[in-house]
Every structure is written in C-alpha cells, then in structure tokens.
Structure 1
Amino acid sequence: MKFQIPLAPGAVTQFLLRVVTCLAVLSFLTQMSLYYLPEYPLREYIARIFNVDAERNLPTFYSFLALLFSSLLLGAIAYAKNLDSDRYKNHWKILSFIFLYLSLDEAGQLHESFINPMRSLLNASGFLYFTWIVPFGFLVAIFLLSYSKFVFHLPVATRKLFVGAGALYIGGAIGMELPGGYLFSTTGMESVPYVIVATIEESL
C-alpha cells in the first residue's frame, strides 16, 4: 500500500532558508543597535523580540514550528513504513519522538534544567560552562552508533541530506555551545563576540 504526501523539497528548503536568514540578520542587527545606535522607541523590545538567543519570541516560535513540522513528517514516514512492515519502521518512529521532544525543548528550554546540577557535579567553567552538553553529548553518541545501519540503508541522496542536516544541527547545538560557554563565562552575554557566536549557533 502506497502512502504519499506531495511536497516540493527544493521550494520548501528555499523558503525555510530565507526565513532563517532573515531572522538571523534581524537578530544580529537589532543586537548591534544596542551597542552602536542611540536610544530609539521600543529599542529594547525590538531587540528582545528578534534575539535568536532569547526565549518566547519570533525565532523561538519559528524553531518550535520547524522542529514540530519535522516530527510530523517523520511520523508520516513512520506510518507509511509501518504499513509496509519496513525493517526500520521503529527507527522512524523514534526519530519522530526525538523531534517532538526537540520542539518542546525549544519552546520550554528543558535542557537548561541540567546546567546547574551538572555544573556543580563537574565544577565546570570555561568551554563547559553550559554543562547540558555533557549528558546530551553522550546521548548523541549513543544515537549515532545505534542509527549507523539505518543511515546507510537510505538512498544516497537522502543519506547525504540526513548527514549534512545532522552535522549542521549538532554542530550548532553542541559544537558552537563550547565557545559560547567560554565567552559567556569570561565576557558575559552582553558582548559583541558572544552575540556573534550565539547568532551563528542558533542559525545552525
């Protein structure tokens, strides 16, 4: 039984890239306005509503929707694979739940609850200032090992896109969090270098 949802991947990708680019540019410009422009009406509000490193604003809402949409698409694929009794149907289901969690985490910053306990446990500072990356990095390693066969069973074009997307997302979420944590602990979040790193991280 065939189950299909017609989408134009190229058009969707271009649209989402434009949205991400606009949000990143608006965030950077509004943050720089706090440092280099004189006071203007609603300056603080505008800077906060577009800040990719802040919560409960436009970039957060976009990220929540993008991750939730990914979860729904993965769920649709899991449903189709289940109908065909595919060998990797459960892998697709787990991916759908992972992206559902990521969307909820983006909305509620659930991972931040790990920071203080892990910081106390590890007595961490500098690059490991945002200590949530330790347990989540461990989980990512387990995920990569358990999904290696799944990735290699995918068609070549799809496999390349999966690996590329995963590298961008993990590189941003964990990789860029290391220099971000160092700058946060040494210069604070109200510094131009930290704003640059945070913008790159959230854009990825």
Structure 2
Amino acid sequence: MDQAEDDALMDQPRTPPNNNGLRVRTTPGSIRMLLSGITAALLLAHVISQLGIYSFGADKHWLDALNMDRELNLPTLFSTGLMLLIAVLLHRLQTTNGSESPSDWRLLSRIFVFLALDEALQIHEILIFPGLRHHIHPALASTWVIPYGLLVLVLLWRFRTFLRTLPAELASRALQSGAVYVGGTIGMEMVGSFAVRSELIRLHSFWYGAITGLEETLELLGLILFIHALMQELIRREASGLLYVMVEPDGSHKKTAL
C-alpha cells in the first residue's frame, strides 16, 4: 500500500466519536512512517554504541540502554509495544464483519501477547542448551531457533484455512511481513551463530553487533508492516479507524479512539 491508498481511505466518510474537542487525524501510512523513523533512530543509536564500545573503548554498561542485543532497554520496550499493539488490532478485528472465524483472530492476538512477553523476558533463551552446540550445525548453536522454527511451520499449517479466507491482499501482506520478521528473528540469529561458531567473527565485536542490529531491525520492520496492513483492514471494514484524540476540559478523562 502507498500513500495514495491511505489518502483514499481518509476520504471515506467518517463518524468521529464526538463532535466536540480537538481531533488529531492520522493515517496508517503516517503511523508506519513514524514507527519506521523510530526504528531508524534506534538502529543508528545501536551502531554508534557499537562503534563507541569496540573502536573507542567506551563503557558497555552505559550503552546497554541502546544496544539492540540486550534486554530490558529502549529497543526491547519498543518491540514489545509493537507486539502488544498488534495484539490489540487483532482482537479488534475479531469483532468486525469479516468471513473469518473470530476464534482465529483471538488466537493470533494471544500469540502476539506471548511474543511480547517473550521479547520482554527473553523466555526463548530457556531453550538454549550449550551442551548441544558440539553436536549440531554451527548455525543452530542458539538452539531455541529449532523449536521456534518448527512452531512457525506448525502455525502456518494451523492458519492455512484462515489465510485463504482473508482478503487476498491482506493475506499476502501478512505473509510478507511475517517473512521479514522471521527472517530477522530466526534467519539472522542463525547467521550470527554460524559466523561466531565458525570463527569468522568474534562474539564480542563490532561485526557481531552489526548482525544483531540487522536482526532486530528486520524484526521491527516486519512488525511495522503488519501493523500497517491491520490498520488499513480495520478502516475498510468499519469505515472508521482514524485516530481521534479528544481533549476535554480539566477534571474529565481524555478519550482516544482508533
């Protein structure tokens, strides 16, 4: 989808939640650009932090907040927030008048809640078994990629009927965004593991930091593409969905509607 389609969606009749107050209008395309800009800023900060650590001997601990390969920091918070936003959008779609089963939307929403928890708490690292690394391919040294890779295949099979019932364009864009996301989370993780285990690069080096930066960036871009597709689908189905921020007098609650 390009900006022209977002403009066309904006031209459809809208019913704002209230005629009073300040309305701030935006589009899925504008939100996508904002989120992409934040991603670019995080990637730039990550690269600068890696240069500072490995070229100028900067203290790692001061830069952990910007390191895309660390948990409980700004990149992790942003990624977790995107996953929770997707969960909300998927939950909202189950109440629309599509031909898909509401239970499928609900299950997808719960999956993204789990992914958000995994991202925040690094649950997948429980599945790393160092003792197995000497018996498997170097690309599989981060052993969590094996069960998670199998889980991706299982979910594709589980949702095959659901994907066929979706509008063709939405199904295509969901698969494309999923490919970008999985290519980052699992694909680049395997690249990094192979490079380190084959002694092409060191674990604690700028080049490994570059791989992890690319991994996290692809993950974020996949999430952003999916958010954009889901928002546009919500607008089509409900003839609403622009973001209205209603600013009311002091003492009342600020209302938002998506």
| Separation (CA, whole Å) in 2 of partners of 1:47 and 1:173 | 22
Opposite residue 37 of structure 1, the aligned amino acid is F
> What amino acid maps onto 2:118 in structure 1?
D
Of 13, 17, 20, 2:39 maps to 20
What is the rounded CA distance, in whole Å, between the counterparts of 1:121 and 1:183 in structure 2? 14
Which SS does the other structure have where 1:130 is aligned? coil
Query: Relative CO higher for 1 or 2, CA cutoff 8 Å, sep ≥ 6?
Result: 2
| Equivalent residues of 2:80, 2:120 under 8 A apart | yes
Q: Which residue of 1 aligns with 2:140?
A: 128
Check if 1:177 corresponds to 2:206: no
Q: After TM superposition, list the pairs within 5 Å mapping 1:86-125 onto structure 2.
A: 86-116=99-129, 120=132, 123-124=135-136
Flag the structure with larger Rg: 2
Unaligned runs of at least 5 residues, structure 2: 1-15, 18-24, 219-258
Give the Cα separation in 2 of the matches to 1:38 and 1:108.
Answer: 29
Note closer, same or farther for the CA distance 1:195–1:38 as it changes in structure 2 (3 Å cut).
Answer: closer
Report how far residue 87 of structure 1 moved.
3.9
What per-residue deviation string (whole Å, max 9, x for no partner) do you get for residues 52-84 of structure 1?
011111001111111111111111112x14xx5
Q: How far 1:86 moved relative to its partner? A: 4.5
> 85, 95, 99: which is aligned to 1:69?
85
User: Once the 2 structures are TM-superposed, how far is the Cα of residue 178 of structure 1 from its aligned partner?
Assistant: 0.9
State the 1:153 CA deviation. Answer: 2.2
Q: Say if 1:33 and 1:122 are closer, same or farther in 2 by CA, change over 3 A.
A: closer
How far 1:22 moved relative to its partner? 0.7
Q: Confirm or deny: 8 A CA contact 1:124 1:131 kept in the other structure.
A: no
Q: In the alignment, is residue 140 of structure 1 matched against residue 152 of structure 2?
A: yes
1:56 aligns with 2:75: no
Q: What letter matches 1:198 in structure 2?
A: T
Give yes or no for contact 2:100–2:165 (8 Å, CA) kept in 1: no
Q: C-alpha displacement at 1:29, in angstroms? A: 1.4
Tell me the TM-score normalized by structure 2. 0.68
Equivalenced residue count is: 194
- The Cα of 1:157 is off from its aligned counterpart by 2.8
Alpha-carbon separation, structure 2, partners of 1:63 and 1:90: 25
Distance change in 2, residues 1:37/1:12 (3 Å):
same
How big is the shift at 1:193? Answer: 2.1
1:7-66 deviations in Å (ceiling 9; x for gaps): 721111111111111101110111111122365xxx434421100011111001111111
Structure with bigger helix share is 1
Gap change, CA 1:103 and 1:44, over 3 Å in 2 = same
Decide whether aligned partners of structure 1 residues 89 and 35 sit closer, same or farther in structure 2, where only a CA change above 3 A counts: same
Match of 2:204 in 1: 190
Q: Is the 8 A contact 2:66 2:75 kept in 1?
A: yes
| TM-score where L is the length of structure 1 | 0.85
- Across the aligned residues of Structure 1 and Structure 2, the Cα RMSD in angstroms comes to 2.4
Partner of 2:168: 156
